Amino acid sequence: MFDRNVRSRSGGLTFIELLIVLFIVGMGWFTLMPNLDLAGNKEEDKVSLVNALIYEAKNMAVETDSRQYVYVNFEKGIVRWNGEEAELPAEISSGHLNEEPVDGDGVDFAIYPEGFSDELRLVLSDGLTLVLDPLSVRFGEM
């Protein structure tokens, strides 16, 4: 008879197996994270609605590999893209596009296929300043 020393496994994961599992979970998380509510809660407020519209334009720019232009109407206080509109929380007092003052009724800013945009700074009549971050392509309050 053969007398083997059979080592029994405890049934747990080895360190390498645990690292592989964590790597796979991490890759899944960072793959899904950009799609998880980056545009904010659409019912929350007007800035979130504007960000949702801009986020859709960003997705279209990346998917179609073409620039998307979003128009901001200063007189009406709306943001328009692809036939859709979102209202800003107040009238626009002044604006800057890529550090240059904007004159006129409104301005078009570009969202590029690489996933970034022009920088846009809007000062609203209620004193709120909204800045479109070129890398995250969403308005934030200052």
Which residues contact residue 139 at a Cβ distance below 8 angstroms, ignoring those fewer than 6 apart?
47, 50, 51, 54, 122, 130, 131, 132, 133
Amino acid making up residue 111: I
Neighbours of 124 (CB within 10 A): 18
Q: HSE of 103 in the Cβ direction (CA atoms, 13 Å)?
A: 0
The tens digit of pLDDT for each residue in 12-29 reads: 779 999 999 999 998 888
Q: Are 40 and 52 in contact (CB under 8 A)?
A: yes
What pTM value is reported for the model? 0.65
Instruction: Please report the pLDDT score of residue 24 as a whole number.
Output: 92
Distances (CA, A) of 67 to 58, 59, 73, 79, 114: 9, 11, 19, 17, 9
The tens digit of pLDDT for each residue in 32-80 reads: 776 665 555 444 577 888 888 888 988 898 899 999 999 988 888 888 9
The four Cα atoms 94, 108, 72, 86 give a dihedral, to 10 degrees, of -150
Three-class secondary structure of residue 82 per DSSP: coil
